[in-house]
Chains A and B, each alone.
Chain A
């Protein structure tokens, strides 16, 4: 069900005209209201009047994650704080999170594109949506929640965890749409198998799975174990949250809601746009966002854009499944983790040398994070309780920084591989093709 036929099925010519107008408006708002952008544009030698059409977007400079950090917390806001009615935050590369804000109009656009997402998977106002993404500073839970309400569905704000209760509500309330990470959907299937619950008796129709990369193989697994269409959804808080792009029932690429979030693919090394259909780094421009008019944000996600018309009738282009990152960011249980965050925690804990290695594995259904730390003489103690205290302290500080529980293993010195130049800090044993 196409939630917004007018904008999702616009002719390419009309769409480009709309995008051009909106880009000019966004660039003007950024230039006039965000000192950071004014400086950036001046240094780049570009003014709002230079934007005559959407094609002029390549005249504009990029925005990066570092720009969020250097303007922390509210330096990118184009409106006074009193007009910002919501704040969300996601992992930063260091101790400070990446902060985003939303005006009332932004919340409405966000809800609209999340409603479109649900529509892409066949969702309607008659559906019962169970939101099992985390509610809080992360954008997942509240994003999909507002989308469900905009759609007119009956929304159950379960948030993440408590799998037994998730299943109970699915049975008792007759949930038809499920929103959670793909790994968590398998966790739900595992729990059901253990408790002898026959999932085929549930009324599930579709699942909206994102916040972490997942493969076709995993999709087959999910659709075998749960009686639903597994729909890939994409988003990032810097751009808005969930609702940036979504697969339709063709399950062949994710439609980008490009009347609001304009996508480009660039060569990550040169920064030049690639030829149509070629792979590269995804870049987004927020055409309508008022709190942060984000210009050419480098996501560091690798993808391609498909210009071909989709059988579903939507004219908005599709992006391919994310195939990797250009940086060292990890996604563990749907949470973004930068090795530099881990290094910062270890250095902070008194006397700990940063000889460590991060091991990510997936022995069951969920991701597991282990941090091995070498015990140098600086941190060694003759007392078991002091070493255990150190282990616990690292665990707590790590959890506070990452919002994830990591296994902390103390290891003997020189057991972690030393390399010349860039140290191999991460061993990712999961396979994501």
Chain B
């Protein structure tokens, strides 16, 4: 139920982002979702790709610093209040959200949102109990 997200360290210099996505493109790796977190000095590029192993190899061979993180893809009702309805049970159980970002594609009529939780296993329990749908990883890479 946890999906592997690829994180890449990037200096705040022109062309770093272009270089990374170019490498992935040449290796025929498809980016499904991305988020770029920044500070004044550096950034972290977070990617959901269709072939994590190939992406990691290509980037490491080119000398990039990468890591893999477990994230959870949650189906969130695509209406006002939808996100709140997902966050409520998590807050009630004291589960912390580190960051989140969304997919463009949908599986059903719900929005698909990627969450990094402080404790993914605890989050999964809470979501399951609240009847909130979580997408399995095989489905996510095909989105």
- Residues of A at the B interface (CB closer than 8 Å) are 375-377, 380-384, 387-388, 391, 409-415
| Across-interface contacts of A380 in B (CB, < 8 A) | 7, 9, 65-67
Q: What is the CA–CA distance of A414 and B62 in the complex, to the nearest angstrom?
A: 10
For the complex, is B109 an interface residue (Cβ under 8 Å from A)?
A: no
For the complex, is B26 an interface residue (Cβ under 8 Å from A)?
A: no
Q: Would you call A412 and B7 a contact (CB within 8 A)?
A: no
Q: Would you call A381 and B67 a contact (CB within 8 A)?
A: yes
Q: Jot down 5 A-B pairs with beta carbons below 8 A, ordered by A.
A: A375-B65, A382-B5, A382-B7, A382-B44, A382-B116
Q: Would you call A409 and B41 a contact (CB within 8 A)?
A: yes
Q: Would you call A410 and B69 a contact (CB within 8 A)?
A: no
* Distance between B95 CB and nearest chain A CB, rounded to angstroms: 16
Known: A375-B9, A382-B46. A412 touches B64 (CB 8 A): yes
Q: Would you call A414 and B67 a contact (CB within 8 A)?
A: no
For the complex, is B63 an interface residue (Cβ under 8 Å from A)?
A: yes
Per-position 1/0 for B1-29, Cβ under 8 A of A: 00001010111000010000000000000
Q: What is the CA–CA distance of A409 and B37 in the complex, to the nearest angstrom?
A: 17
> Binding site of B, secondary structure by majority: helix, strand, loop or mixed?
strand
- Residues of B at the A interface (CB closer than 8 Å) are 5, 7, 9-11, 16, 37, 39, 41-42, 44, 46, 63-67, 69, 98, 116
Q: Would you call A383 and B67 a contact (CB within 8 A)?
A: no
Q: What is the CA–CA distance of A375 and B44 in the complex, to the nearest angstrom?
A: 12
* Distance between B86 CB and nearest chain A CB, rounded to angstroms: 21
Q: Would you call A382 and B67 a contact (CB within 8 A)?
A: yes
Q: Would you call A384 and B39 a contact (CB within 8 A)?
A: yes
Q: Would you call A384 and B37 a contact (CB within 8 A)?
A: yes
Choose among A388, A391, A409, A412 the residue that contacts B65 (Cβ–Cβ < 8 A).
A412
Q: What is the CA–CA distance of A382 and B67 in the complex, to the nearest angstrom?
A: 7
Choose among B11, B39, B69 the residue that contacts A412 (Cβ–Cβ < 8 A).
B11
Q: Would you call B69 and A413 a contact (CB within 8 A)?
A: no
| Across-interface contacts of A375 in B (CB, < 8 A) | 9, 42, 65
| Across-interface contacts of A391 in B (CB, < 8 A) | 41
Q: What is the CA–CA distance of A375 and B8 in the complex, to the nearest angstrom?
A: 11
| Across-interface contacts of B5 in A (CB, < 8 A) | 382
Given pairs A380-B9, A382-B69, 14 additional interface contacts (CB within 8 A):
A375-B9, A377-B65, A381-B67, A382-B46, A383-B98, A384-B44, A387-B39, A387-B44, A391-B41, A410-B42, A412-B11, A412-B16, A412-B63, A412-B64
* Distance between A406 CB and nearest chain B CB, rounded to angstroms: 14
* Distance between A409 CB and nearest chain B CB, rounded to angstroms: 6
* Distance between A341 CB and nearest chain B CB, rounded to angstroms: 23
Q: What is the CA–CA distance of A388 and B11 in the complex, to the nearest angstrom?
A: 13
| Across-interface contacts of B37 in A (CB, < 8 A) | 384
* Distance between A255 CB and nearest chain B CB, rounded to angstroms: 48
Q: What is the CA–CA distance of A97 and B33 in the complex, to the nearest angstrom?
A: 52
| Across-interface contacts of A415 in B (CB, < 8 A) | 11
